[in-house]
């Protein structure tokens, strides 16, 4: 195959391909740091340049060997000019594509930085991963969960703090601890029904006092605090121990509500049979939910405790009665 036939059939394609590869590998090498990939790109660029130069030399040889003999100098010059224009157009397009790609990468980088900053500043980050629900609807579910906790992890629980009205002692869980002789210190804040009898049921005072007498038969097991402030939550937090420090393990909180009796025109406190009740666990609940409940409970417990008296049992005429003493008399 003669040089002229070769250049006519393949010269333009080889020149264009070599130029494209040369420009592309050269552009890529500018984005790479030292290493094998960059060295490969540099080598490809050098080879491409040599191929392009070689093709130009072949065109010149063809030009001088054929073009002059045929008095076709103007046509050959025009062809060379066309080739150069084609290469220039391709090069400019590659530069444009690289610039657009670089701009897109910079935009993506800025977007990633902004999203990362938002995530790091998002307080909900402690909520991941969510392992279980933090809410139940039925109070009996709470009682069951607490009973299961006492049954399965009672040896790890050092203290149980409770805020409740006092009618049932958290549905028998206080009695369960006492009857099982579990080594758990109970601190429970109840309501002094005598302080605001207008919001109590007729038998509330007797029921609460009977519970106190029953619980206080083991005086070293339970501390009963009686507050004149009616508790508006039914709540509890179980504490374990870590390196000698008290650490919350489990907690629950549910609000009370007022009930209006149209017949007697009276208002009393009651526990809703169905409401949104928060139940949290150190192992399975998000950190934000867990500590939000524990902190809320401890703040309310301290508030009620500050206005409470300590319940002790006294005997009058052979009958046990509840006596309320100032806290500094039993806790100097």
* Cα→Cα distances 142→12, 79, 237, 284, Å: 83, 90, 12, 16
Element (H, E) at 178: helix 173-179
- 39-47 long-range contacts, CB within 8 A, separation 24+: none
Is 127 a member of any domain? no
Q: What is the DSSP letter of 179?
A: H
Angle at 306 between CA 303 and CA 312, to 5 degrees: 125
pLDDT score for 115: 74
Is 129 a member of any domain? no
Question: Which of 66, 86, 121 is at the close of a domain?
Answer: 121
> Global pTM?
0.59
Q: How far apart are CA 304 and CA 288, in angstroms?
A: 24
Same domain, residue pair 231 and 292 = yes
pLDDT score for 329: 47
As averages over each run of 10 residues, the pLDDT of the chain (332 residues) reads 59 68 68 68 73 72 61 64 74 77 77 75 54 74 90 92 88 87 93 86 88 80 90 93 92 88 82 83 86 94 93 85 77 42
pLDDT score for 162: 96
Q: How far apart are CA 235 and CA 44, in angstroms?
A: 74
Same domain, residue pair 207 and 291 = yes
Element (H, E) at 311: strand 308-316
Same domain, residue pair 75 and 101 = yes
Q: How far apart are CA 175 and CA 182, in angstroms?
A: 10
* Cα→Cα distances 272→138, 254, 263, 276, Å: 9, 9, 20, 10
CB 231 within 8 A of CB 208: no
Same domain, residue pair 192 and 309 = yes
List the domain range (segments joined by +) for residue 67: 3-121
Render the burial of 277-289: b for 16+ CB within 10 Å, e for the rest.
bbbbbbeebbeeb
Same domain, residue pair 178 and 35 = no
Same domain, residue pair 40 and 164 = no
Report the number of distinct structural domains present in the chain.
2
Residue 46: cis peptide before it, omega within 30 degrees of 0: no
Same domain, residue pair 200 and 171 = yes
pLDDT score for 148: 92
Same domain, residue pair 181 and 112 = no
pLDDT score for 31: 65
Question: Which of 55, 87, 121 is at the close of a domain?
Answer: 121
Is 24 a member of any domain? yes
Same domain, residue pair 267 and 324 = yes
Is 68 a member of any domain? yes
CATH number at residue 151: 3.30.870.10
Same domain, residue pair 115 and 146 = no
């Amino acid at each position: 195959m003669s040089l002229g036939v070769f250049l006519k059939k393949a010269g333009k394609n080889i020149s264009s391909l070599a130029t494209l590869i040369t420009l592309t590998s050269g552009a890529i090498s500018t984005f790479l740091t030292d290493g094998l990939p960059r060295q490969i790109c540099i080598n490809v660029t050098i080879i491409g340049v040599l191929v392009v130069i070689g093709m130009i030399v072949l065109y010149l040889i063809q030009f001088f060997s054929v073009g002059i003999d045929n008095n076709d100098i103007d046509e050959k010059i025009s062809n060379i000019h066309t080739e150069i224009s084609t290469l220039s157009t391709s090069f400019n397009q590659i530069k444009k594509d690289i610039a657009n790609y670089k701009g897109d990468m910079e935009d993506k980088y800025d977007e990633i930085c902004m999203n990362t900053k938002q995530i790091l500043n998002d307080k909900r980050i402690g909520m991941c991963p969510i392992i279980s629900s933090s809410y139940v609807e039925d109070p009996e579910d709470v009682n069951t969960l607490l009973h299961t906790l006492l049954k399965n992890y009672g040896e790890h629980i050092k203290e149980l703090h409770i805020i409740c009205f006092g009618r049932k002692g958290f549905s028998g869980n206080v009695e369960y601890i006492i009857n099982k002789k579990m080594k758990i210190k109970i601190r429970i804040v109840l309501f002094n029904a005598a302080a605001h009898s207008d919001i109590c049921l007729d038998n509330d005072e007797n029921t609460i006092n009977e519970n106190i007498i029953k619980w206080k038969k083991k005086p070293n097991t339970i501390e009963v605090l009686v507050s004149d402030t009616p508790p508006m939550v039914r709540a509890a937090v179980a504490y374990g121990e870590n390196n000698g420090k008290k650490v919350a393990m489990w907690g629950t909180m549910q609000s009370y509500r007022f009930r209006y009796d149209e017949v007697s025109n009276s208002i009393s406190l009651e526990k809703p049979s169905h409401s949104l009740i928060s139940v949290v666990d150190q192992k399975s609940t998000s950190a934000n939910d867990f500590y939000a409940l524990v902190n809320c409970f401890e703040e309310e417990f301290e508030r009620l405790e500050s206005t409470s008296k300590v319940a002790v049992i006294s005997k009058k005429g052979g009958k046990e009665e509840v006596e309320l003493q100032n806290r500094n008399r039993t806790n100097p």
